Homo-oligomer: A and B are copies of this chain.
């Protein structure tokens, strides 16, 4: 563990994408100095925040002297290249593809559908009331987690974690989505493999330390 942070990170306590980066930093024994961007207060659309991330989102990872890096998967790949041990991807090409595909099911096909900007649009322009928004959340969290359960339960690559017996990018992305589901009190039934892997993540210090409830700004 370094004592001086090598990176700066824009962050929010509840942010699923920030969670991913926190876990990766923890796994690699790296630290980042966090700059809180309050998504509930709309700070992500301030001029300063948009300069770091034109999508109006967190996180951005900043290595002093370099441009900010946005997009959680790009940050995870960057950290894996910057400090290869312990690796976030398996060594073999087909295993790497499997891990990246699982990550994509969560980070591309699931999480973008339930972000604050989508909530804002649907509950204003879209005419959704609270119940319709909650049904939307349940629909897309549920679809993603159920599809993932089908893969994990049926594929030989699954081990203690999503791929083998050490955490990879796939587990980081899965735990990041489940962390947000917990904040919003959404659960999916009938997914024993996902549940078992999440229990393994919960028991891992690198994941536990990244829990939203343990971050600066979380409700007491």
Contact = CB atoms under 8 A, between A and B. Distances in A.
A88 B144 CA distance: 28
A70 B105 contact: yes
Interface in A98-149: 98, 100-101, 103-105, 107-109, 111-113, 117-118, 121-122, 125-128, 132, 135-136, 139, 143-144, 147-148
Interface string A35-75: 00000000000000000001111000001001101111111
A77 to B, nearest CB: 6
Number of copies: 2
A103 B111 CA distance: 16
A55 B135 contact: no
A85 interface: no
Interface stretch (A89-97, A195-203, A204-212): A89-97
A77 B96 contact: yes
A220 interface: no
Contacts of A101: 69-71, 74
A93 to B, nearest CB: 5
Nearest to A71: B104
A71 B127 contact: no
A176 B93 CA distance: 25
B73 A100 contact: yes
A157 B66 CA distance: 12
Which interface residue of A56, A97, A107, A147 has the most chain B CB atoms within 10 A? A97
A28 interface: no
A183 interface: no
16 contacts: A54-B148, A56-B147, A67-B94, A69-B97, A69-B98, A70-B104, A71-B100, A73-B108, A74-B100, A77-B97, A78-B96, A82-B93, A108-B108, A108-B111, A108-B112, A109-B112
Interface of A: 54-57, 63, 66-67, 69-75, 77-78, 81-82, 93-94, 96-98, 100-101, 103-105, 107-109, 111-113, 117-118, 121-122, 125-128, 132, 135-136, 139, 143-144, 147-148, 150-151, 155, 157
